[in-house]
């Protein structure tokens, strides 16, 4: 197991370098960040030259990348164009988005897996058909439409929730935004769990456990559910980074100042350091989440061992 973890960590290095290089190149071709600093009027040549020198934009792109990576390994993610260090923006944004992601993941695990197990065990029955139709409806509606509709009904019209989340963003105010953020993924988890349960229910090891006279609950939890969760865990592990990076619409709707909000502001203002810094951390989240998922395989399925 230890050798496997070390090998996977070493494999992350070229993936991380390649991903950050692509991100850096794509962000640098979005437009001229100096033009965004000067507002509607074009900068005069002297001011533009001074700003380019101050932020290191007068150097070739490859040299800017090497400087950025060198600073990155010392914990310096650069400075935003407003003079605020990117690490300060991260310190304010990531805790909020992490709390929002935790709420969304809990909805996926509790509601998604529960509905998937229920419908998988009762495949073809009315409850199975009802859940499948509901998940199909959720999948067909964009997240921003769901968020705006819930905000209008629950927040503005009926007053059951606050239309906008406060600056501190406590967990109780993030329940509804977390449900909105998790809605599409929750539907996928439900359908994926249902399919996996329905397929494994006919497996030989399940029939053997039933023939041995084991209690139904033990057959479901110890044998059927454990092996059926492997594809579900894979999806949820990959979804962690996707939720954190894809929360732009949800955070904009509910005025949550998290990672999505900062990414949106960085893209609009063409703030290279902010966008690259935040996406770099999200790349690390993706890599670590995938490693954790691979390690969970051995916990869920005893047949899987890492030499």
Residue 22 in domain: no
What per-residue confidence (pLDDT) applies to 42?
64
Query: Residue 258's domain is classified under what CATH number?
Result: 1.10.3720.10
Tell me whether residue 41 is in a domain.
Answer: no
In this predicted structure, what is the pLDDT of residue 169? 83
Total domains, the chain: 1
Asked whether residue 61 is domain-assigned, the answer is no
pLDDT recorded at residue 105: 92
pLDDT of residue 302: 61
Spatial CB neighbours of 121, under 8 Å, sequence gap ≥ 6: 197, 201, 220
Q: Is residue 9 part of a domain?
A: no
Nearest to 91 by CA among 281, 292, 289: 281
The DSSP symbol for 153 reads: I
Please write the tens of the pLDDT for every residue from 236-289.
888 887 888 778 888 888 888 888 888 888 877 777 778 888 888 888 888 888
Domain annotation covers residue 183: yes
Residues of the chain above pLDDT 90, percent: 12
Regions of the chain short of the pLDDT cut 70? 1, 29-44, 47-48, 51-52, 54-57, 81-82, 298-307
Sequence-separated (6 or more) residues with CB below 8 Å from residue 306: 1, 3, 4, 294, 295, 298
Residue 132, C-beta contacts closer than 8 angstroms, at least 6 positions apart: 119, 191, 194
Whether residue 253 is contained in a domain is answered as yes
CA-based radius of gyration for the chain: 24
Q: Residue 12 is encoded by which pair of tokens?
A: 């992350």
* pLDDT score of 110: 92
What residues make up the domain containing 141?
87-271
307 assigned to some structural domain? no
């Amino acid at each position: 197991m230890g050798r496997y973890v070390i090998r996977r960590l070493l494999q992350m290095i070229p993936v991380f370098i390649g991903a950050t290089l692509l991100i850096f190149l794509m962000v640098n071709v979005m437009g001229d960040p100096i033009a965004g600093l000067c507002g509607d009027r074009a900068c005069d040549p002297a001011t533009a030259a001074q700003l380019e020198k101050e932020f290191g934009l007068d150097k070739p792109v490859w040299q800017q990348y090497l400087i950025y990576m060198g600073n990155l390994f010392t914990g310096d993610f650069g400075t935003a164009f407003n003079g605020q260090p990117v690490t300060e923006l991260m310190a304010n944004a990531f805790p909020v988005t992490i709390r929002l992601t935790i709420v969304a993941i809990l909805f996926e695990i509790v509601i998604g897996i529960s509905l998937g197990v229920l419908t998988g065990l009762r495949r073809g029955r009315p409850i199975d058909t009802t859940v499948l139709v509901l998940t199909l409806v959720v999948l067909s509606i964009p997240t921003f439409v769901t968020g705006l509709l819930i905000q209008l009904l629950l927040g503005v019209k009926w007053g059951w929730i606050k239309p906008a989340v406060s600056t501190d963003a406590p967990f109780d105010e993030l329940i509804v935004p977390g449900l909105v953020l998790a809605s599409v993924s929750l539907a996928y988890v439900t359908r994926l769990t249902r399919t996996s349960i329905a397929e494994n229910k006919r497996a030989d090891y399940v029939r053997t456990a039933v023939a041995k006279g084991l209690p139904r609950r033990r057959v479901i939890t110890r044998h059927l559910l454990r092996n059926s969760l492997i594809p579900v865990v894979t999806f949820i592990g990959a979804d962690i980074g996707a939720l954190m990076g894809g929360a732009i619409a949800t955070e904009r709707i509910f005025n949550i100042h998290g990672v999505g909000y900062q990414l949106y502001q960085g893209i609009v203002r063409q703030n290279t350091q902010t966008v690259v810094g935040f996406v770099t951390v999200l790349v690390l989240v993706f890599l670590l989440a995938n490693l954790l998922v691979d390690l969970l395989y051995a916990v869920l399925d005893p047949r899987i061992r890492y030499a």
